[in-house]
Amino acid sequence: MFTEDLSLLRGPPGRDGRDGRDGRDCDTDELEKLVAIMFNESRKSGDTSSVGGTTTGRSPLGSYDTDDLLQSFNESIGFALLRKMQTTLAKLEGIEEELDSHQSTSLKDDDDADDSQPITTVIGGSTYVRWGRTTCGNNSQLLYEGFVIGSNHAHEGGASNYQCLPLKPEYSTYSGIGSWVYGAEYETGSSMFPNAMHDHNVPCARCFAPTRSATLMIPAKRTCPPSWTKEYEGYLMAGYYTQNRAYAFECMDAEPEAIAGRSGNENGALFYFQKASCSSTGHCPPYIESAELTCVVCTK
């Protein structure tokens, strides 16, 4: 209170170390002015005895000496501080009760959660097919092992992409009406693979990279961009240019496997090495007309 006249209390540092704000260094005239202000404020609030003055018109100092006035003033300030501390303490107690209530609710929720089944959440991750192999690499997880199928190379209808079918299918109802898919074979001739794979059926593996969220197949490269993980490298393969069937480009593993017992020339879906035509691309060199294109599969 009396914020407009607090300058009356300022002075050199007081004896109690409170920066001179206890009024002990004020002279008598200043104290009389201060008590007069207190008296007027008390009279406005209806309490004419709180400072020691009366309504008789006498000087507010009355018969009080300086020490008595200082004691009365300090007591009134102390009372105001006490009320403020009580209010603050009440607020703190309310906050403490609210925190206790919140903690009890959280503990109850935790107890309820313990009775439920654990929830497994997968965040991110990426999948890819490793053509020609039955395993995955570079810390990727095998989702399933399978074999490659596609539409017949001599048919004009059907689909244009290869598929990796799992070894154990799950059927629903069926009627026998529909198109056909065929097993896929390597059509590599003398082959550049470590083992002779010509006419052998092609296996595959569908893989999951749990810590990497993107998959990229780069044709004509054997290395991945910086910060990408190399899953495998191989050769770019698809159908033959004179046949009816147009197949999607896929990256066949450089060290492929074969499905045991399936080495006959059945000519279903076929895989051929792919080469760049220098006369149409116009990028030779560095491309080479007769060289089989490489490829790499990367994740990040």
Mean pLDDT, residues 32-52: 55
121 pLDDT tier (thresholds 50, 70, 90): low
pLDDT digits 0-9 by tens, 159-175: 889 999 999 999 888 77
Cis peptide before 256 (omega within 30 of 0): no
Percentage of the residues of the chain whose pLDDT score is greater than 70: 64
94-98, 121-125, 236-240, 245-249, range with greatest mean pLDDT:
236-240
Q: In percent, how much of the chain has pLDDT > 90? A: 31
How many other β-carbons are positioned within 10 Å of the β-carbon of residue 108? 10
Per-residue pLDDT at 3: 44
- On the question of pLDDT at 220 being above 80, the answer is yes
pLDDT tens digit sequence for 208-219:
999 999 999 999
Q: Are 38 and 45 in contact (CB under 8 A)?
A: no
SS3 for 236-293 is EEECCCCCCCCCCCEEEECCCCCCCCCCCCCCCEEEEECECCHHHHCCCCCCCCCCEC
C-alpha–C-alpha distance, residues 107 and 252, integer Å = 55
Residue 184: what pLDDT? 93
CA distance 138 to 285: 33
pLDDT computed for residue 66 by the predictor: 56
pLDDT over threshold 60, residue 108: no
Mean pLDDT of 71-86: 65
More confident residue, 287 or 245: 287
CA 49 to mean position of chain CA atoms: 68
Q: How does pLDDT run across 17-27, given as a tens digit for each residue?
A: 454 444 445 55
* C-alpha dihedral sign at 50, 53, 57, 60: negative
Backbone angles phi, psi at 97, to 5 degrees: -65, -40
**Winning range, highest mean pLDDT, from 52-66, 120-134, 201-215:** 201-215
pLDDT of residue 56: 45
Provide the mean pLDDT of the chain: 75
